[in-house]
């Protein structure tokens, strides 16, 4: 009886199969007369390919998914791809930075990640030196790879208007078109400019990093403060601020991009250490200016933020300029 019912169902499917020209429910099938079953040919092809692959790769794991590895310092690979805007600028924040903060200056990038910002600024403004520091050796390796690629590029060391700046985007954000079109281009400087000699990277925990006092004109600290606080608490944050202050020459500037407090909560459970520190934190990002001026010793603060064009959601953070 059971076999009879199965045959009847198969005959019904076969009839539908014939009416649809060999396609059943948008799937290529065939009727197996020996088993009285309608066979999914698409599935057979996939299964056969997998079988052949397994035969050729006996040691291959069945589950190719990589296990999740938490990045406690915000050091996700490809992080900066999220910041790429359709205006052609690698990072929309670059439109906020002024030439006088970088041209012929000694610059330090704390938490430089894969070096995109450091390398691009060195190209745009012919820095005297650019040194990037990051705790993740993997990212520093990537930074040197990017540096070598850019050094070999024909656009290396060309001025701002020649490296894919969209004039409309600049003027829409309050910039002056003449600032872009009439930007000076000293080709003698370009010829003498060696990116590999001026840009360098180093793997180090900046909180433990030995640095000569008064050795830099500009320090970049972009989207770093949250990870310092979550991993080393309020004490780590203050160490960061005091070390940056000491590293700057008189009149030097700190360019700081703090993450909002709500993003701390989002990442509070990455590791046990982070969660423990999160529960103890008392210093909030909206207090940083007061801390940097009244406690650390900076003379002034300026909010340099304009709306960054075409930036992805979550990256419209304020950027502050602190002068020593």
Query: Using one digit for the tens of pLDDT, what is the confidence trace for 203-242?
Result: 999 999 999 999 999 999 999 999 999 999 999 999 999 9
Q: Which domain holds residue 280?
A: 82-323
Last residue of a domain, one of 39, 56, 73: 56
> Are residues 52 and 196 both part of a single domain?
no
Average pLDDT over every residue of 87-113 = 86
> Are residues 158 and 277 both part of a single domain?
yes
pLDDT at 115 over 50: yes
> Is there a domain that residue 243 lies in?
yes
pLDDT at 250 over 70: yes
Tally of domains in the chain: 2
Lowest mean pLDDT across 83-92, 122-131, 288-297: 83-92
> Is there a domain that residue 132 lies in?
yes
> Is there a domain that residue 90 lies in?
yes
CA-to-CA separations, 254 to 76, 138, 283, in angstroms, rounded? 24, 26, 19
> Are residues 152 and 49 both part of a single domain?
no
Q: What is the CATH number of the domain that holds 132?
A: 3.40.50.150
CA dihedral 267→272→276→278, nearest 10 degrees, is: -10
Q: pLDDT exceeding 90 applies to what percent of the chain? A: 50
- Is residue 159 classed as helix, strand or coil in its secondary structure? coil
> Are residues 215 and 310 both part of a single domain?
yes
Average pLDDT over every residue of 103-126 = 95
> Are residues 123 and 207 both part of a single domain?
yes
Q: What's the pLDDT band for 171 if we cut at 50, 70, 90?
A: very low
Q: Under a CB-based contact definition with an 8 Å cutoff, are residues 319 and 256 in contact?
A: yes
> Are residues 168 and 257 both part of a single domain?
yes
Query: Using one digit for the tens of pLDDT, what is the confidence trace for 93-104?
Result: 888 899 999 999
> Are residues 113 and 36 both part of a single domain?
no
- What pLDDT shows up at residue 249? 98
pLDDT at 185 over 70: no
Q: Under a CB-based contact definition with an 8 Å cutoff, are residues 137 and 203 in contact?
A: yes
Last residue of a domain, one of 40, 56, 72: 56
Q: Residue 86 is encoded by which pair of tokens?
A: 């359709």
> Are residues 26 and 116 both part of a single domain?
no
């Amino acid at each position: 009886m059971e076999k009879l019912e199965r045959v009847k169902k198969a005959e019904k499917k076969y009839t539908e199969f014939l009416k649809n020209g060999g396609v059943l429910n948008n799937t290529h099938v065939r009727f197996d007369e020996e088993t009285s079953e309608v066979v999914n040919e698409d599935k057979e092809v996939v299964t056969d390919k997998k079988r052949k692959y397994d035969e050729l790769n006996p040691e291959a794991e069945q589950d190719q998914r990589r296990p999740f590895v938490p990045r406690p310092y915000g050091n996700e690979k490809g992080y900066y791809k999220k910041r790429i805007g359709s205006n052609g600028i690698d990072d929309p924040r670059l439109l906020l930075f002024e030439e006088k903060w970088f041209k012929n200056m000694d610059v330090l990038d704390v938490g430089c990640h894969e070096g995109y910002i450091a390398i691009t600024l060195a190209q745009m403004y012919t820095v005297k030196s650019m040194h990037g520091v990051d705790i993740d050796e993997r990212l520093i390796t990537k930074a040197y790879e990017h540096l070598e690629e850019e050094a070999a590029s024909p656009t290396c060391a060309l001025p701002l208007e020649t490296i894919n700046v969209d004039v409309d985007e600049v003027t829409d954000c309050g910039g002056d078109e003449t600032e872009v079109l009439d930007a000076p281009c000293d080709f003698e400087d370009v010829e003498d400019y060696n990116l590999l000699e001026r840009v360098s990277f180093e793997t180090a925990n900046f909180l433990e990093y030995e640095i000569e006092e008064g050795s830099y004109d500009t320090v970049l600290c972009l989207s770093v403060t949250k990870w310092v606080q979550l991993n080393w608490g309020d004490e780590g944050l203050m160490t960061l601020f005091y070390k940056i202050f000491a590293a700057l020459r008189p009149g030097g500037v700190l360019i700081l991009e703090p993450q909002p407090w709500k993003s701390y909560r989002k990442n509070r459970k990455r590791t046990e250490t982070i969660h423990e520190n999160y529960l103890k934190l008392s210093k909030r990002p909206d207090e940083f200016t007061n801390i940097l001026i009244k406690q650390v010793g900076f003379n002034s603060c300026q909010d340099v933020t304009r709306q960054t064009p075409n930036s992805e959601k979550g990256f419209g953070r304020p950027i502050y300029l602190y002068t020593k």
